[in-house]
Structures are given as C-alpha cells and as structure tokens.
A and B are shown apart, each in its own frame.
Chain A
Amino acid sequence: MNEGYILQVSQLNKAFWGVIAVFNVSFELKKGDFLGIIGPNGSGKSTLLNLITGFVRPDSGSILYCGREISAKKPHSIANLGIARTFQMAKAFYRMPAYKNIIIPLCSARARQFRGGVYGERDDIAMDLLEEVGFDRSSGVPYKLTSSLPHGYLKRLELARSLALRPDLVVLDELFSGMSMAEVAGTLPILEKLKERGTTLLMVEHRLKELFRVANRVIVLNYGRKVADGSPRDVMEVEAVKEAYLGSE
C-alpha cells in the first residue's frame, strides 16, 4: 500500500444481470481529500458507493481501506472500520425521536470505544452532533418524531448519524438532493469544517456548483466507466465529460 492513501479502488467491476453498472473503475483517495463523483443518471455513481460501503458485492476488483481489503466485508464491519455513509433517499429511523437516530450508531462497536458507559452521556453526544449539523438544541426539533421532520432535516440527520461513528472516511450520496438553497448554504460550512478537521470525504452529487465549492478533486463516471479525473475546473474541460452531460453532435 502506498503511504497516505486511505482508499484504493482498483479494477472494480459490477454488473446486474448483464447490465454493466461499474466497469474497471480505479482511483485512490488520500487522507484529507474531498473527492466528488459526478456523472449523468445511471452512470454507476451510487453503485460505486454501495460497493465501497459493502451494500453491494463487486464481481471483481479490489477495495483497500487503509491497506486492508474490504470488498468482501459486510456493511456493518466496514462502518466499524471507519467508513460512514449517507443514502441518496434519506434512510432514517422514523419511529423514534430525531435525537435517538444518533444513539443507534453510538451503540456500534466502533463508537463504544470512545463513548463512556454513563447512560446520560450518549444523549449529550447526540445533541452535540445534531447541533453541529444545524439542529437548534433549544428548539423542540431534536425531540420530534423523525417521521414528522421535513426532507432537509432528514438529510442533515443522516449526516449527523454518519458522524456519530467518528469516521475517517465519510461517503455522501447526493446529500444536497431535495435541499433548499438555504439548507445547502447551511450544510456547506459543515462539510468545510469536516475537511479542515482532516476527515476524508467522498461525495456523489448532481449539484455541481455546490460540490465544486468544497471538492478538491472530481471523478466523472459515464456508463459505469471513469471518463475523467482531476480538479473540478479541469474535468469540465474534458471532451468526454461535455459529451456525457450534453450529448454528442
């Protein structure tokens, strides 16, 4: 393993009943990087994230996390190694109050290492995390039933849930989708803060303007293939990228 790489994906392939979703994708991610993954709908972005986080098994290829092969590991094992994720469609625990959504990852093997056994402490950690993603502690929102929260809150709740694992790598699947401009504007500083803290981020996003504000590198996928890799400014100049987004003449 090359020193400094937190994630090394090589020759990754996945097909669903003959339909290629990811084809020979390789890339590396350095510690502290903020990598954006973009591409048209159906280009394999979410599948790639599912492969990295263990929700889908690759047909071939390898995924090294801190030099350790994780492609055959289960999602919870990968999460406990330090890779946390959010989902494209917000997945929350709707039958619980919002703050209890954060308590679930705090019950994981990874989180138990750094949280004390005192019963009350978990609530404080949950509240701190919710406040970090923009929930007002003094309002009643953290105590509201999750099913009653609007979409923007659910997305940020997911982000807080992923941060509860104190992850080294955060994988975000279209975090901004369905968020209002104000909500996105409120979320961007959170991501910048994470970046400053040295957390590695991998983000699939369709809202390119917002993504390019925070990502320092971008990969472009089309039909499951990597067609460009570089700084946000550079990749948008690549002919294949223009073709993927705008179509060819």
Chain B
Amino acid sequence: MKNRKERIDRGIKARTDDVYAVSGPKEISYILFPRMLLVLGLIISSILANEYWQEVIVSACLIGLLAVSWTLLTSVGLVSLGQALFVASGAYIAGILNYYLNWPIFITIPTGTFVGGAFCTFLLMPVLRLRGIYFSMVTLILPLTIGKVFEALHILGGNDGLSGLGRFTNSTVTCFLAVLATLGCFFGMRRLMATDYGLVFISIGDNDQAAMSGGIDVYSRKNQNVFLAAAVGAFVGAFITHWIGFVGTPAFALDYSILPIASAVVGGIGSQAGAMVGSFIVVPLAEILRTLGGIRMLFYSLALLVFIILLPEGIFKYLERKYHQFERRVKVE
C-alpha cells in the first residue's frame, strides 16, 4: 500500500476565482490577506527602513513596475528585450523639460510618462506585425543603438547627460512615492487584465487569427497595449531622473531590460503579481550579495538558477497554489 499526495482546491477558491461570491468576514479576510500583506508590508517597510534600504525598496519598486510592463506586453504575445527604451524615453523627456524649461517635477513626471509612452508606441508601430524572436531582436537593438548614437554624437550631453535636475525632497518621500505608484499601477493593471479589455489582450497572445475572426482589431489593440506598457516604463524613467537628479546614456542600460525579465521568471511568467514578487527577490538579493564583492555575480546567477530549476512555475504561482489548496496523503493500491 502506497501513499500519494492529493491536492484539493479550497472551496473558497472556487467562489473567489472569477465571480466574487463571498460571505462573511472570514472569506473577505481570506481574499484581503495577501493583498494587505503587500500593501502594508511595503508601506511599513518604507517607513521603518533606513536610507540605504529605502533606496533598495525604490529600486525593487521600479524594477517591479518594469516587470509589470513586460508582463503586459507578453499578454499580447510580444516578448520585449528592450524595456530600457521605455525608461530612456521617459527619463530624457522629464530631464529635458526640467533642465531647459524648468518645469516642476509634478509636471515633468506625468508628461514624461504620457509623451514617453506615445513616442515608444510610435517607434514600435512598424514592428508590431513581427512575431516572436524578430520583435524581441528589434526591441533589444533599439535602445542599444539609440544610446550609442547619443554617446557618439554627444546628444543632450552624451555620457555626461543633463545634471543638476530637480530631485525629490528626501529619501522617505522618494520611497513613499515609489511605493504608492507601484501599488497603484500594480492593482490597476490587475484590474485591467480582469476586464473584457484585458481578456482581449490575452486572446491576442493566445491566437491572433482567432481574435481577428472574432472582429477584434488586433493591430490597434497591440498598439494600445504597447502604449500602456511603454507609459509604465517611461514613468520609471522619469522617476529615476528626479530620483538621482541626472539623465544620460545610462538610462539605456541593459539592466533595465534584463532585470524585469529575471523578476518575471523568478516570480512566475504571465502573472502581474509574479512579476512584482520576483522584483522583490531579485533586487534585494543583488544588494545582499554586494558584500561578496567581485564574485557576487556568480552567486547571483546561481541563486536565480536555483529558483528557476526548483520552482519553474515561479515563486508566486507556487505560493498561490499553496494558499488556495490543501494537501493530504491518500492510500493507493
């Protein structure tokens, strides 16, 4: 007689999966608990953390936003390797407006977000018909090429960039703003993906020809998706500009393209929450390993490999499964 593990969904999962049919405070707290854990965890840690860790939280939030933006693109089947393009667009637009026109931060960031999003959408419009690796290659090449052109032609200061830009008043304010923006964007995106509008995005990623035959203008929806994703990335860029008071070619850095993907892979591909959870593992892990000096990259890579091999579904999906299911041993003949 052998035992086998049986996994059974909790009853509440079925009632809260799609249509919310909850009753009583116990079920409401079951739904609210993981959400409040994220909200309160972020707010409390941003208050309690010292200046160094506040900066780590800001970095994690910003990479988390880029990971959410990357996940949004994957929903329509676009795999981007160039989130840095979005970051640089927002960063430079906010920087230019602040440096040359002296526009205040609370105007440069929203302007950088929307104009950056629109600019990137316009830039990517001709390649939206490309599929798979071809789209990825274009998105990888674009920020690298534009960055090199800025460097070679010394555009907007080249490597020296534009410095002395307006900054947030202190690290607590920066951290608070980053946390608020992250929570707003994250819950907003999750809500969006749960609506019919988000469902259409998923359908395009699933089978664009079937979506077309259902009367969906796939090309237009992809443009809208890219705009939303690019606007989130541009917000990150504009935020960084005013966080460090500088904008230059580092805004095109490959880190902005790779770290969000690493976050999404560690957290769980295809899920906004997974992307966010992943960024809060990937970024602090890099900081913790910083004490190891030169060999930290080796440990960092090893840690990521362990995550990928042991939890290929992603840590968030694993935790989600554990939360929604209970396990028991049953006897088998």
Contacts and interface: CB of A to CB of B under 8 A. Distances in A.
B171 to A, nearest CB: 41
A93 B213 contact: no
Contacts of B214: 79, 104-105, 107-108, 161, 164-165
Interface string A84-124: 11110001111111001101111111110000000000100
A104 B209 contact: no
A183 B305 CA distance: 47
B196 A122 contact: yes
Interface in A189-218: none
Instruction: Give the interface centre of B199, B210, B216 by most chain A CB atoms within 10 Å.
Output: B210
A78 B9 CA distance: 43
A108 B216 contact: yes
A75 B200 CA distance: 16
A164 B196 CA distance: 15
A235 to B, nearest CB: 28
A156 to B, nearest CB: 15
B202 A75 contact: no
12 contacts: A75-B212, A76-B215, A76-B218, A77-B217, A79-B212, A79-B214, A85-B213, A91-B207, A92-B206, A92-B207, A95-B202, A104-B214
Contact of B213 (A53, A97, A110): A53
Contact of A76 (B18, B197, B206, B216): B216
A77 B210 CA distance: 14
Interface residues of A, number: 36
Given A103-B196, A104-B199, A104-B200, A93 B207 contact: yes
B222 to A, nearest CB: 12
Interface in B172-219: 196-197, 199-200, 202-203, 205-207, 209-218
B199 A100 contact: yes
B83 to A, nearest CB: 23
Contacts of B200: 104, 107
Contacts of A79: 212-215
Contacts of B202: 93, 95-96
Contacts, number: 84
B209 to A, nearest CB: 6
Given A105-B215, A108-B215, A111-B215, A91 B210 contact: yes
A80 interface: yes
B129 to A, nearest CB: 12
Nearest to A79: B215
A104 B203 contact: yes
Nearest to A93: B206
A21 to B, nearest CB: 18
A5 interface: no
A162 interface: yes
Contacts of A101: 203
A223 interface: no
B interface bracket (residues with beta carbon within 8 Å of A): 20 to 34
Instruction: Give the interface centre of A74, A87, A91, A92 by most chain B CB atoms within 10 Å.
Output: A91
Instruction: Give the interface centre of B200, B205, B207 by most chain A CB atoms within 10 Å.
Output: B207
A110 B217 CA distance: 12
A175 B206 CA distance: 21
A101 B211 CA distance: 9
A1 B211 CA distance: 31
Interface in B88-126: none
Contacts of A74: 212, 217
A107 B199 contact: yes
Nearest to B219: A74
B199 A76 contact: no
Contacts of B217: 74, 76-77
Nearest to B197: A107
Contacts of A75: 209, 212-213
A103 B213 contact: no
B44 to A, nearest CB: 35
A164 to B, nearest CB: 7
Given A93-B203, A95-B202, A96-B203, A87 B213 contact: yes
B246 to A, nearest CB: 42
Contacts of A92: 206-207, 210
B215 A93 contact: no
Nearest to A158: B210
A96 B199 contact: yes
A104 to B, nearest CB: 5
A101 B209 CA distance: 13
B210 A87 contact: yes
Contacts of A103: 196, 199
A79 B202 CA distance: 20
Given A95-B202, A122-B196, 14 more contacts: A74-B217, A87-B213, A96-B206, A103-B196, A103-B199, A105-B214, A107-B197, A107-B200, A108-B215, A108-B216, A110-B215, A158-B210, A162-B213, A165-B215
Contacts of A93: 202-203, 206-207, 210-211
Contacts of A161: 210, 213-214
A81 to B, nearest CB: 9
A108 B18 CA distance: 22
